[in-house]
Structure 1
C-alpha cells in the first residue's frame, strides 16, 4: 500500500512514539508516588525530558521501526521494539551518569519500560491491522521458470509468505522465450490480485506479464535482476532529445570515505576495549576445549581483489579442511566444536576481525569478505559478483542484517549492491544497530543447508503449488 510509504505517516508515528514515551514516564511517576509527584522529582523529570524524545526517535530509526512498507510480521516488530527499548534504557542511564543533573529512579525506569513497549507495540499493531485490511491475504498468480532459484522462491513463499499471499496458480514458462499471447488469453484474471514473477523468467516474457497486470491495476512483485539494481539512483541526462541514464561504478566520495574510516577507527577501538575480557577468555577457552590454537587465520579477498589475512576465533576442529578442501559450513556440520556452535550463534568468532578493521583491511560495514576459491565459483554464475570488491569488505553488512547465513549468494549479492548504491554514514550506523538483532537471532546464524534438504524443500514447494514433483530435479542446476 502506498500509504505506508508516505513520509508524513512516518513523521506522525514518530510524534506518537515521542508522546508515548512521555506518557509512559509520567504514568510511572504517578504509580510510584501514588498520584502526587514530589516537586524535586518533577524538576528532575523536566531536566531529562528532552533526552527522552531524542533518544526514542534516534533509537527507533536505527532499529528500522519506521519502515512500514514491507510485509512484516508483528512478532518481528515486537522483537525489534524490545531490543530498541533495552538500548534506550542503557542510553538514558549513560546520559544520567554523564550529566549527573537529575535522578532516575529504577522503579520508574522499569515501569516506564513496560508501558512504553505496550504503547508503541499497540500503535504498530494498529498499523499492521490497517495494512492487513488494505492488502490482506491476497491471491497470487506466480510465474516461474524451471530455474533452481525460482524453485527456492516458491519454497520461501510457501514457508513465510502465507500470511500475505495465497498462491492460487503457478505457471511455468520455458527457458526459451515464446509467444505469450495464447497463454495470457487463457488466464482467468479474476483468480489473482497479485502477480509475482521469478527471476529466471526471460525478460521479454516478464515484460508481457507486467504490461498485462498493469492494465488491470494489479500489484506486481518481482525479484530485481542485477541490471535493475545497478540502475538504482542512476542519473537521468539528456543528449539532444535522447533521454539517457548515467551509470557510475558504486564508489563512496572522498568525504564519505574519510568519515567511514573515522567511524571504523573509533568504533573498533571502543569495541576492542569493551570486549577485551571476552577476547582473553576465548584465547584460553578455545585451546582448552579442543585441540589447536584459539585464532584461525584465513586468506580472504579484499577491496579491488587484494588478498589479506582475516582473523577469527577457531570454531571448528583443527585443520578442518585438510582432507575436504574449501567447504561451506552446514547446519549440522560435524566439524564445528561444541564451543564453536556458541561462538557462531553469537558471532563472537568474528570479534578478532576488529583488528583487521583497525589495520584498514576491512570496514565495520560492507560486503562480507570471501575466499578466492568461492569467488571464482560465484563469478561463473553471477557475473556481477566482482562489484562487491569495489569497496572494503565489512565485519557486518546489509546482507547480514536483512538475510541469513544460509541465504543464497545471489540474494546476498542483491543486498550488497543495494548497500553500495545507497551508501551513507546513516545507513552504516543503522546496520550497526541492527547487527545487535542478528547477534541475538540464532536462526540467522545457521549454516548452509545440505543439498538433500534443499532438494526436498524444492519438491515440497512445487507440490504445494500444484506442480508435478518430477519437474524440480530436471530443472535444478
Structure 2
C-alpha cells in the first residue's frame, strides 16, 4: 500500500498540481497584461476550454516521462524534458486556438502564461528533487561487490552518479557469502548495493538479510530476472507457478506497430526532406565520397538487410582496421560528420528502411554481423533482441548512450520487448527529441580502463565514511577495524 501511494499517489498529486498551475498561470498572465481586469470574453473562453488545456498538459507531460517517479534521475534531464513539454503544449494551444473559434487566445497571453507555467513547474519539480536529495531519501548504503572489474566499474558509477540518493558508508569485497550476517555491519544502514558479479545464491541471501531488516536493495538485474518483470502468476493444483513467455510481440501488436511505422515515417520524411536534400549535396562537397552510405546489418530473425545512412566518416574508414566501433574524438569522423552524428541527421535515410519493412521506428538498434556474432558469444541472451525488428531509435538509445556497454544496452532492449506497448513507442519517440537536442548520449566509446579498482579506492577515500573491506572467503568479519583495507598499490 505504501509503495502504491508512493508511485500512483504521487502521480495523482502531480497531475492535480499541474492542472492548478495551468489555471494560475493564465490567471496571472491575464492580470499582468490587463491592469483594468481580465477581458470577460477571453477569460470565459479560457474557463470553457480549461479541460482541454489540462488534457494537453497531462498527455504531453506523460509522453515526456514527467510523471515517471519510479526512477532516480538527475534534475537536469528532468527539467529539460519539462522545457520540451512546455514548448509542445504551447504549440498545441496555438493549433487548438486556430481550430476552435470559441477559444480566443492572444499571443501575448500565451507567451506570458508559458513563461509563468514554466517557472512554476520548474519550481515544483525542483522542490520534489530537493526534498528527495537533501532531506528525505539520501540513504546510508552498504555495497557488496566481488573483486571482478565489472563489479568495481558499476560501483564507481554508483558512487559518482548516485550521490543525490545514496551515500556509500561501507564497501565489502567478498569472495563468497554465508548465511550468517553479523548485526554490527547493519547499524545505520538503509540500503544495500549488490554487485552484478555475485552468484545467484549469494544475491538471494543478501536480499533475505536485507528484507529481515527492512533495508532497500539496489542491484543490476540478471537477464533471466528481467523476464520476471511481467511474469503471469498461475495456479496448478496447489502450486503457485510463474508463466514466462518468450520476449516477442503479439500479432495485434505487430500489426499496430507496422501501421504506425508507415504513417509516422511518411510524415517524418515529408518534414525532413529539405534537410535530406541539403545533405545529398553538402556531404560530397566537404569530403571525398558519396553522400549515402550503405552497410549490411542484421535484422529480424537474423536476416541481413542494407541499412542506409548519410556518410559521417571518411571514405573506406574501416579498410585498414576492419569493423570498429566509433570512439570519442574518432579521427575517421569528418567535421560535418561530427555534427550530423550528434544531431542524428545521419540516421534520416533509415526512414526508407522503415517503409521497406526492414526496420521499425522503435526497437533495438541493428548491428553488423561481426558484432552480432561477438555479442552472442559474450551474452547468451543477445539472440532475444533479434526476435523483433530493429529500430531507428530505441529504449537503450534514450535511456543509455552510445558508449554504454552492450550488456547494459541489452537489458534495456529486453525490458522494452517485455513491456512493449504503443504508448511506450510514442514516449520513446518523444524522448528521442531530448536525446537529439542534448547530444550528450551520442558520444563515442571511451578507451577501456585496465583496472578500475584504483579509481574506486580513490573515490572511497573521498566519500568520507566509506571503508573498503575484503573479508576472507566463507567468512564475514563484523569488525571493520580488523578487515583488510586495500590501497591502490595493493590492487
TM-score, length basis structure 2: 0.90
Alignment of 1:228-307 (within 5 A): 228-307=225-304
Shift of 1:3: 6.8
Alignment of 1:341-420 (within 5 A): 341-420=338-417
Q: 2:463 is matched with which residue?
A: none
Distance 1:75 1:44 in 2: 35
Distance 2:200 2:71 in 1: 25
Aligned-partner SS, 2:187: helix
Question: Aligned residue pairs: how many?
Answer: 466
Aligned-partner SS, 1:395: strand
**Does the CA-based 8 Å contact 2:149-2:451 persist in structure 1?**
no
**Does the CA-based 8 Å contact 2:134-2:164 persist in structure 1?**
no
**Does the CA-based 8 Å contact 2:291-2:311 persist in structure 1?**
yes
Alignment of 1:74-93 (within 5 A): 74-93=75-94
Aligned-partner SS, 2:62: helix
2:467 maps to 1:469: no
Listed one character per residue, the Cα deviations across residues 222-254 of structure 1 (whole Å, up to 9, x for unaligned) are 111001001221112222222221111122222
Distance 1:131 1:2 in 2: 16
Shift of 1:35: 4.3
**Does the CA-based 8 Å contact 1:153-1:198 persist in structure 2?**
yes
Aligned-partner SS, 2:147: coil
Are residues 4 and 338 of structure 1, via their aligned partners in 2, closer, same or farther at CA, if it must alter by over 3 Å?
farther
Distance 1:247 1:125 in 2: 40
Are residues 143 and 26 of structure 1, via their aligned partners in 2, closer, same or farther at CA, if it must alter by over 3 Å?
same
Distance 1:237 1:418 in 2: 22
1:201 aligned residue (198, 201, 216): 198
**Does the CA-based 8 Å contact 2:141-2:192 persist in structure 1?**
yes
Distance 1:219 1:439 in 2: 35
Distance 1:141 1:375 in 2: 37
Shift of 1:412: 0.7
Shift of 1:12: 2.0
Distance 1:21 1:127 in 2: 19
**Does the CA-based 8 Å contact 2:149-2:452 persist in structure 1?**
no
When the two chains are superposed, the root-mean-square deviation of aligned CA atoms in Å is 2.0
Alignment of 1:428-467 (within 5 A): 428-451=425-448, 454-455=449-450, 459-465=454-460, 466=468, 467=486
Listed one character per residue, the Cα deviations across residues 55-105 of structure 1 (whole Å, up to 9, x for unaligned) are 100000001111122222323222111111011111222223334543332
**Does the CA-based 8 Å contact 1:22-1:52 persist in structure 2?**
no
**Does the CA-based 8 Å contact 1:291-1:317 persist in structure 2?**
yes
Structure 1: which 5+ residue stretches go unaligned? 473-477
**Does the CA-based 8 Å contact 1:48-1:102 persist in structure 2?**
yes
Distance 1:168 1:19 in 2: 41
Distance 1:10 1:186 in 2: 37
Aligned-partner SS, 2:230: coil
**Does the CA-based 8 Å contact 1:154-1:462 persist in structure 2?**
no
Structure 2: which 5+ residue stretches go unaligned? 461-467, 469-485
Shift of 1:448: 0.9
